[in-house]
Structure 1
Amino acid sequence: MSAEPGSRPGRRYIVWAVGLVVYGLAVFHRSSLAVAGLAATERFDISASQLASFTMLQLLVYAAMQVPVGLMVDRFGSRTVLTAAVTVVSTGQAAFAFAGDYPTALVARALVGVGDAMTFICVLRLVTSWFPARQVPLVSQLTGNLGQLGALGAAAPMTWALGQFGWTRAYLAGAVAGLVMLVVLRLVLHDTPAQAHLRGVPMTARALGRSLAASWEQPGTRLGLWIHFSTPFSPALLGLLWGFPFLVTAEHTSRTTAGVLISVLFLTNLVYGPLFGWLVGRQPWHRSTLGLTIIAAMASVWAAVLLWPGDAPLWLLVLLILVTGAGGPGSMVGFDVARTSNPDHRTASASGIINVGGFTSSLLVIVAVGVVLDLLSPGGAEGTYTPEAFRWAMAVQYVLWAVGAAQVLRYRRRVRSLTTREQVAGGSTMVDLGRP
């Protein structure tokens, strides 16, 4: 039964909570290989490049699906697309639990990527549909940040589960949790307060192309894309695959310490998210400056770790985690730029364009690290990754930071040429400024 408009205001938080848990579960599935990289090399007898291909394929599928998913959400609504998402991601995780060979495991991770790709834009659309406009920026920021707590469950708890229950039962538990959430989703979640299912107007292929082209032509959309490209790949590199092996093999921390550090990486979202949301609200003109500042901070602390003679001290590794953790919440600034750059009927598709950026950069850097490790540490077995090889491999991040920062500066100039501070004071919806 559809809820009446404006009835039971508290219901919006219930709907949001369900969507948030579904998104967090998808993040858990996405990140569940992070602490199992060394175990995966043994289980499937694979090299570093082959190990990286799991995450590479998953992120490639995710990035490739963002624009189609945005169009699907605009057309069929969040409830329908989220139902498909939970079904597919749970199927993929179950298949990964039972996989005994490399090709089967690849197919399973591809399914995880497909299901994962459908969740975030759906929840953003729910926020837009259920919350007053003045609350949308804060709730959207909280959605991105709190959803990353799913990765926390894939850090230390997943390390414990793998040790206690083994590969199959540890991964199968996540798939079962997805089935439970599917039931809750169907019982609770509606697309809007007035409609369980909100359907968009059917569009021809030509009309879809025009809509996407209009979003792409907005300089603010491209600025948001490059902010999203430049900021999240470093925490993804650590949290999705290479952080645990880097800390254990290159910096010689214990497995427990490495698991705790990865957990702290995800916990930083709880601090940075509200902080960045407040900063963007107070200084909307400087959203791109915030992105550039995050890039500079991450590049600086990584330089200190990689150039440190011998093993970096624990305090420096903690600092690395704390600074790198800003990248994920920082990427949400790109969505805020997209929101203020496009009309409501193009919000989901524009967000899909933005979301391609970070997952493309994450894909590139994760694959590049695996390739460099294989070149400098032939064999790919545990113990063959030398600290020197890891330093060179992790240094590939600087190529992406240089490209991303240059593009942010380029499109910031274009956006600011179209706007003035007086227009912001007048409350206009501007592509680079937001709604003050």
Structure 2
Amino acid sequence: MTFGFRWVLGRPWLVWSVAALAYVAAVLNRSTIGASATEAAQRFSAEPQLLSVLVVLQVIVYAAAQIPAGALLDRFGARAVLTVGVSLMALGQLGVAVTEQVAAAVAARAVVGAGDAVIFIAVLHLVPNWFDQRRAPLVRQLTSMTGQLGQIVSAVGFAAAVRHAGWLTAYAGAAALSLLVAMLVVLVVREHPPGVVVNRAALPRPTAKAVFTNPGTHLAFFSHMGTQFPCTAFNLLWGIPYLIHAQELSPTTAGLMLSLTVVSGLVCGPIVGLFSGRWPQYRTGLVLACVAAMAACWTVVLVWPGRAPIWLLALLLVVIGAGLPVSTTAFDQARDLNAAQNLGVAQGVTNIGGYSATFVVIQVVGLLLGAFGGGYGREEFHAAWAVQYLVWLISVVGIVISARRTLGAQRQACVISQ
């Protein structure tokens, strides 16, 4: 009996499935304010600028915690970090559930952000321990894809729960679900397969300087920045209000439309994962092509006279949804271009790229909507969404420069080794 139980715990896909479930919970919890944006504005009597603070502070905490989270991963392992992270999200969501004061809600969302910060990179930290190098890129894509199921639960299920069961019940339910996931992590997740013993004290010490000065880390950072933020900023807060008020869709239709980003990620994820594993030399080209496609789709939507047709909005959501699996290739770059003992910190730095851009876009859109009179009109939204082009420009310049430096460093290393 004992042997059979330990064998079940050691199965790679079971361990990964429970860890990925923690990421589903993370995506659900981070996007609940966006799914209940209209109700949040009413509950807290919040203007667009103040409403954006609920999400922006959460994103700031998330981004700021990435490097410490990576260091904790390198020191304590994924199981302990996942357990603490999911538990923090439960605590934060419970705080949001019971308060009617915006200051307390902001603080509670900061706790959610702190817990969320460790989840994705902790799951990625497990992948090379349980899967071989060729399969690892595909598993990383599956992780990203599976996590986005939390977006569907949030946009459809959670939004319906807020409308029909009420704020307290919906947010308390999210907290209870998170606690259940934390218990599953304790029971199932293990750092290594049975029989593998790792003496962490004997491993080379992580060196943050080596990560920060590595042009490969810079490449991963800017690759993640350019491809991740369009979908994340849309899903976290401004997507639902934009579709309802600017594009005049019903709340139900808007929630279903938002789910197209997840469907797109589910379809594109395995393709991108196989591509990244088989042709790693073309990852940068894939990232740049994705940025160009997203910018082109947004341009057509923004210049379209009047309300955009439903097919065009669907195309936009499919394309920005594909950006999420493409952004995950940045973690493949971070892993391949950094030493193993620095992997946690390198993944944390990479993750900052997309979420720092998300923070800027969410906050600037909120500020501009407030400056335009506090309304959610089509013209106001379209002017505010234009901030994305500046972020894309910065990311593309960063990708080109860091890609050249990375190639130069690799050529120099080859010369030295000869």
Structure 1 residue 376, shift from structure 2 partner: 0.5
Greater alpha carbon shift after TM alignment, 273-282 vs 362-371:
273-282
Alpha-carbon deviations, 1:68-127, whole Å to 9, x = none? 001001101111111111111100011111111100100110010011011111111111
Which residue does the alignment assign to 2:128? Answer: 128
Which residue does the alignment assign to 1:298? Answer: 294
Say if 1:346 and 1:164 are closer, same or farther in 2 by CA, change over 3 A: same
Cα distance between partner residues in 1 of 2:202 and 2:39: 47
What aligned pairs does 1:185-200 form with structure 2 within 5 A after superposition? 185-194=185-194, 200=200
Cα distance between partner residues in 1 of 2:28 and 2:196: 27
Q: Quick check: 2:12–2:131 contact (8 Å CA) kept in 1?
A: yes
Which residue does the alignment assign to 1:428? Answer: none
SS at structure 1 position matched to 2:34: coil
Q: Does 1:254 align with 2:250?
A: yes
What aligned pairs does 1:139-150 form with structure 2 within 5 A after superposition? 139-150=139-150
Structure 1 residue 203, shift from structure 2 partner: 10
Structure 1 residue 200, shift from structure 2 partner: 3.0
Q: Quick check: 1:77–1:200 contact (8 Å CA) kept in 2?
A: no
Which residue does the alignment assign to 2:369? Answer: 373
Structure 1 residue 216, shift from structure 2 partner: 1.7
Which residue does the alignment assign to 1:45? Answer: 45
Alpha-carbon deviations, 1:128-172, whole Å to 9, x = none? 212223321211121122112111111011221111101110111
Which residue does the alignment assign to 2:324? Answer: 328
Say if 1:3 and 1:362 are closer, same or farther in 2 by CA, change over 3 A: farther
Q: Does 1:78 align with 2:87?
A: no
Identity within the alignment, %: 38
Q: Quick check: 1:130–1:192 contact (8 Å CA) kept in 2?
A: yes
What TM-score, normalized by structure 2, do the two folds share?
0.94
What's the C-alpha RMSD, in Å, of the aligned pairs? 2.2
Structure 1 unmatched ranges of 5 or more: 424-436
Q: Quick check: 1:225–1:356 contact (8 Å CA) kept in 2?
A: yes
Q: Does 1:66 align with 2:66?
A: yes
Cα distance between partner residues in 2 of 1:193 and 1:202: 19
Q: Which among 335, 358, 365 is matched to residue 362 of structure 1? A: 358
Amino acid at match of 1:315: W
Alpha-carbon deviations, 1:178-207, whole Å to 9, x = none? 111222221111111237996733999xx6
Which residue does the alignment assign to 1:339? Answer: 335
Which residue does the alignment assign to 1:92? Answer: 92
Cα distance between partner residues in 2 of 1:9 and 1:134: 23
Cα distance between partner residues in 1 of 2:66 and 2:349: 7
Which residue does the alignment assign to 1:389? Answer: 380
Alpha-carbon deviations, 1:356-384, whole Å to 9, x = none? 1111000000000000000012xx3xxx3
Greater alpha carbon shift after TM alignment, 124-133 vs 50-59:
124-133
Structure 1 residue 228, shift from structure 2 partner: 0.5
Cα distance between partner residues in 1 of 2:22 and 2:279: 32
Cα distance between partner residues in 2 of 1:64 and 1:196: 33
Cα distance between partner residues in 1 of 2:149 and 2:3: 30
Amino acid at match of 1:273: G
Q: Quick check: 2:216–2:402 contact (8 Å CA) kept in 1?
A: yes
Q: Quick check: 2:9–2:15 contact (8 Å CA) kept in 1?
A: no
Structure 1 residue 174, shift from structure 2 partner: 0.8
Which residue does the alignment assign to 2:31? Answer: 31
Cα distance between partner residues in 2 of 1:21 and 1:184: 9
Say if 1:197 and 1:28 are closer, same or farther in 2 by CA, change over 3 A: farther
Amino acid at match of 1:58: Q
SS at structure 1 position matched to 2:135: helix
Amino acid at match of 2:168: T
Aligned residues between the structures: 411
Cα distance between partner residues in 2 of 1:374 and 1:391: 13
Cα distance between partner residues in 2 of 1:405 and 1:110: 30
What TM-score, normalized by structure 1, do the two folds share?
0.90
Alpha-carbon deviations, 1:29-87, whole Å to 9, x = none? 00111121111111001110111111100110000000100100110111111111111
Q: Does 1:319 align with 2:315?
A: yes
Q: Counting helix residues as a fraction of each chain, which structure ranks higher?
A: 2
Amino acid at match of 1:409: V
Say if 1:219 and 1:304 are closer, same or farther in 2 by CA, change over 3 A: same
Structure 2 unmatched ranges of 5 or more: none
